[in-house]
Structure 1
């Protein structure tokens, strides 16, 4: 009887990390098992400060451009709309560069849809199928009906037409439950009002006693705000990257960071009422313009 001895030589991969000398918030500056793909050392949901700095600079630069002309879905040299801004930000985050600022398409097929499926849910599905998404979660809203709290659900034709009044649970706590005991930066795609608006959330959980989240999109509703020595700073005339906390007001107040949950309730209520008029008055409301519903997808990258 012959015995064959199989010897497997271990391969040790050493990854060296350099230090970042520029302050994070300073201006100017064959068939593979899917579980193995997602959860092995080939993928990580924790991003570096360099990764985050790239997307921060992109969002700020994009927000400084003029809005797209009303007669065009996309034209070079103008600010991207929300879904294309998210796609470009993900290009920067996951692949280190992007062609989207100067084009409507990425060199990475996973980020490209067409005019029929260029929305946040289709993008998230492509990313999930290619193992760039680690986890998914939702936050529903509550309303009042006959003096009682009721969850707003798509399956209930009555509740789905009710105005959102409160969040069923905290988005901030949902983010924290996604990251658990991991430390670093985590990035989430966020869908507001069931895809009516899309943005990126970057959670800084390097220090559990100093947690922050940064809201990034293309609008001028999010000024460039950050902390320096525990003092909230704001760069006048710059937008696209706003620090938020677990608690705080839903509107911008000098010297006070907005609360993520308060802002998300405000945004879903506002989008639900949005009539699409440039100077819509607060009392005007086209009820049920979108379905009040938050979705988040935690991203991961190849090591």
Structure 2
């Protein structure tokens, strides 16, 4: 009975995970991102930038190619307008710990994020090739930012920070989790202290991340699939049948093994193991999904002959972005 309940719980968890994966951000088209990026860079480096909210609102109109889109007077209200238009999801709220590791609610100075903004963005784009965009409301909505995840090569994700600050140039690269999360923590702590010193007020320090939804998503390349076991015990076989076909092994010790999906025949998957051997398994025991580590950049680059000026890799990237 205990084993049956454990298996049932695992299947329920899998179903929930699959539903979540289907709800991931779609990718924005390169040309849409470039319109907004050009404005961000020109605005931040031109010597006379408009304020953060006007920067946000104008960039969003460019991103969606909708100059008449009605936005609002705060970042959170503008995001609410986008949500009403089907262009943004509910915010993901990030709290902080203080110096003693306690949750902060405004009374103590925020020091570290409770969850990683970087990890959240990367996880949400698993299986999606291209650019994911997020409205970002740090400092209790006292600043307006767009964060762009460049996931054109899932092996090497990058995040860009866009606002009106000249120090960030409109398109500031954060290439690691430590860099992005650390900057958010630094700014939040500094802002909290400045408000306390100037206004004698201890503000809350939550940050909100709003996943943006493209109206015209970028097409996705076909991705190879991988499979893992979704139950504790499952048979691997030499042929796609149970009739007169004894199991190769009872895959009890291989729950975390990842198989490359070669083909499907009815309800059976032909799988390739890490050592190159091939087996068959029934779909009921498998979790099959796009390979999150596959990169079209790597595939295209591998097809190119090595060249010293790196043109092969550049051409591969252009293929992805078309």
Q: Within 2, Cα distance between the matches of 1:215 and 1:150?
A: 28
Deviation of 1:138 (Å): 1.4
2:56 partner SS:
helix
Compared CA separation, residues 289 and 57, structure 1 to 2 (3 A): farther
Greater relative contact order structure (CA < 8 Å, 6+ sep): 1
Compared CA separation, residues 131 and 61, structure 1 to 2 (3 A): same
1:273 to 193, 213, 216: 193
Compared CA separation, residues 152 and 197, structure 1 to 2 (3 A): same
Deviation of 1:241 (Å): 1.0
Q: Give the 5 Å matches for 1:99-178.
A: 107-109=68-70, 111=71, 113=72, 118-144=73-99, 148-153=100-105, 160-178=106-124
Q: Give the 5 Å matches for 1:188-227.
A: 188-222=134-168
1:177 partner SS:
helix
Compared CA separation, residues 297 and 287, structure 1 to 2 (3 A): same
TM-score with structure 2 setting the length: 0.56
TM-score with structure 1 setting the length: 0.59
Q: Deviations over 1:5-36 (max 9, x none)?
A: xxxxxxxxxxxxxxxxxxxxxxxxxxxxxxxx
Kindly indicate whether residue 171 of structure 2 is the aligned counterpart of residue 241 of structure 1. yes
Could you list the runs of 4 or more consecutive aligned residues of structure 1 that deviate by over 4 angstroms after TM superposition? 284-289
The count of aligned residue pairs is 195
Q: Within 2, Cα distance between the matches of 1:63 and 1:142?
A: 32
Alignment-derived partner of residue 229 in structure 2: none
Q: Deviations over 1:206-252 (max 9, x none)?
A: 21111101101101221xxxxxxxxxxxxxxxx2111102244xxxx
CA-based RMSD: 2.4
Kindly indicate whether residue 113 of structure 2 is the aligned counterpart of residue 183 of structure 1. no
User: Any conservation in 1 of the 2:147–2:162 contact (CA below 8 Å)?
Assistant: yes
**Structure 1: gaps spanning 5 or more residues:** 1-38, 68-78, 99-106, 154-159, 223-238, 249-258, 277-283
Deviation of 1:261 (Å): 0.4
Compared CA separation, residues 274 and 183, structure 1 to 2 (3 A): same
Compared CA separation, residues 134 and 179, structure 1 to 2 (3 A): farther
Q: Within 2, Cα distance between the matches of 1:294 and 1:87?
A: 19
Kindly indicate whether residue 214 of structure 2 is the aligned counterpart of residue 301 of structure 1. yes
Kindly indicate whether residue 32 of structure 2 is the aligned counterpart of residue 86 of structure 1. no
Q: Deviations over 1:133-173 (max 9, x none)?
A: 135311100114xxx521113xxxxxx22101211111101
Alignment-derived partner of residue 301 in structure 2: none
**Structure 2: gaps spanning 5 or more residues:** 1-21, 217-322
Q: Within 1, Cα distance between the matches of 2:146 and 2:118?
A: 14
Q: Deviations over 1:14-62 (max 9, x none)?
A: xxxxxxxxxxxxxxxxxxxxxxxxx99xx97311221111111100111
